Structure 1
Amino acid sequence: MQLTLDGISKKVGAEDWLYEMNLAPRPGAVTVLLGATQAGKTSLMRIMAGLDTPSHGRVQVDGQDVTGMPVRERNVAMVYQQFINYPSLKVADNIASPLKLRGEKNIAQRVRELAERLHIDMFLDRLPAELSGGQQQRVALARALAKGAPLMLLDEPLVNLDYKLREELREELTQLFAAGDSTVIYATTEPGEALLLGGYTAVLDAGELLQYGPTAEVFHSPKSLRVARAFSDPPMNLISAEAAVLGVKLDAGPELSIPLPAAASKSLTIGVRAGALRVGKREGDVALQGKVELAEISGSDTFVHVETSVGEVVAQLTGVHYFDLGAPITLYLNPAQVYVFDATGSLLVAPQRKAGR
């Protein structure tokens, strides 16, 4: 199914919720809507589903204009943040409900297959209220999958679950989506979730569509500072700089050998992902001297906040490391891993990607 948004926008009163945009998600693939809270993800999904109509523009499905067609007349499945199930129906009947509406055969077998895929087959005779939040969300997902709709919309479906459950379901969803034929639209605020789901990513910010493309391409080549900020967790380190003889001179810092386009502006901003900063020097690295402001361990990584001559930067170090607050520290970065943005915030230079990445 080809969903196409043609010049759609959404205005509520005098406020612009969505600015004019064009988007045609890849059929049969996952498209992640990535952006902070109030970026416009839910508003866009509601227009896709037929729950709202755009103020301007058209919504088309396989070339047919469906703008204004209500959701009940569209073949769409939706999963929300909340665990929305039929409270008076047992889990098996919740999952079976779309199958019964279509008058399908072998419903019990189909329900059990879906329940087994989502690891809730042992709860089929229970009511939703007897399940945990994660189990209830699995029921909602199973019912959406049972509908077999060509368009599946998931609005931050894991946000209310604890960390461990989110990790488990993310991996399962990636496999489920890969095995299906539906066009999946998945909204999230988390860059890591977008990278795990893969497929395609549309980056939204304050109601604007900033960039759409294969997820890896958008991550590695953000077309602007706004995209880079939205698609970095922890946030990308941004440092003021200017064009210099060797390439780029950091304000109050070293000079980096980075070839710039001939028309590059004098005023620049460089971006360094936290994972590109190291405490061990490698060939070609440039040193940043500083002192430790904060060190925090998260999972298997250590995040170190360092005050340097170019401002505070955050390094994401693999493994568990211990640092004394205020202690001197030297971070290293390779110019080949640096992003360069011009005075307008547009991308000038991106790190070269290794083959297969």
Structure 2
Amino acid sequence: MFAKLESLQDKYQELERELSSAEVFSDQSRYRQLTKRHSELGEIVTVYREYSRTMADLESNKELLGDSDPEIREMARAELELLDAKIEDLQRQLQILLLPKDPLDDRNVILEIRAGTGGDEAALFAADLFRMYMRYAERTGLRTELIQASESGTGGVKEGIASISGNKAYSLLKHESGVHRVQRVPATESQGRIHTSAVTVAILPEAEEVDVHIDPNDVRTDVYRSSGPGGQSVNTTDSAVRVTHIPTGLVVICQDEKSQHKNRAKAMTVLRSRLLKAKQEEQKQSYDQNRKSQVGSGDRSERIRTYNYPQGRITDHRINLTLYRLEAVLEGEMDELVNALVQHYQTEALKAETEEVGS
């Protein structure tokens, strides 16, 4: 591990020299590539340097254990305990940073939310979740763009699709895929009984044309007049687009934009992302046949989280985490949930790699 860390530190220093070159700066494409790689290596080099300094401090304190002054020896022993704990923590950080990176982590995201069992109450909760993710994205510095929203008659959302873009969007949100369950008393419930409803969330890495090739002959495009709110030009022109991928039967509808061409471009982005997700799931199923302890299933059929309104409680069933701050989370304060999930799956990945090395 340490030979690899030394090599990465050398590469980091080499990149620093290259980035200071006027020749590299004049080639903006190459400059961006090197800046990105420099940034990626920066985190691990910073931790490695802190580890090296801590190890040096450890050796210095070990020497003080032989000092003739008993007070200095006691201080050295106390300091060694702190340094040992710090080194253990830094070693774990380095192991995680050296794990193979998910090549999709830097991608933008297509967020899809659909009301499940529960009728109008499920649609209302789908709207709540849609708003939660939009607010979280804004708080995190990510950009959001509505692609499609199919509203229910009660102000809920039957289906909502949005693009979330920015630094490591997929890395932050990829563990949100699955069935989200809500337990609360609907506004229409006269006897105060708690109802349980479900909403499905899908987080798709935004696919690029190089990821998924779509034969134009495999796509049927229908245009029609948009329905619902949107202004005069939206409702009186054939700007809405329905794209059908004939081989798979996947259908994407987009009518948010006034321009038919913009709607089609958005619909094709969603279609590519769905096809990429299907391709990933197919590869994962093949992998799972050979390895049962696969990390991060992303299975959309499993219940991953429960939102209990009477108790103000959120429980993530995958990591047995319960928070009593439902209202804040629904306002987009999701950092504690997101960070706990990222840490959990990093730990699982580390265990899996350790098992493979040992086998």
- Structure 1 length-normalised TM: 0.25
Larger radius of gyration: 2
In terms of fraction of residues, the more strand-rich structure is 1
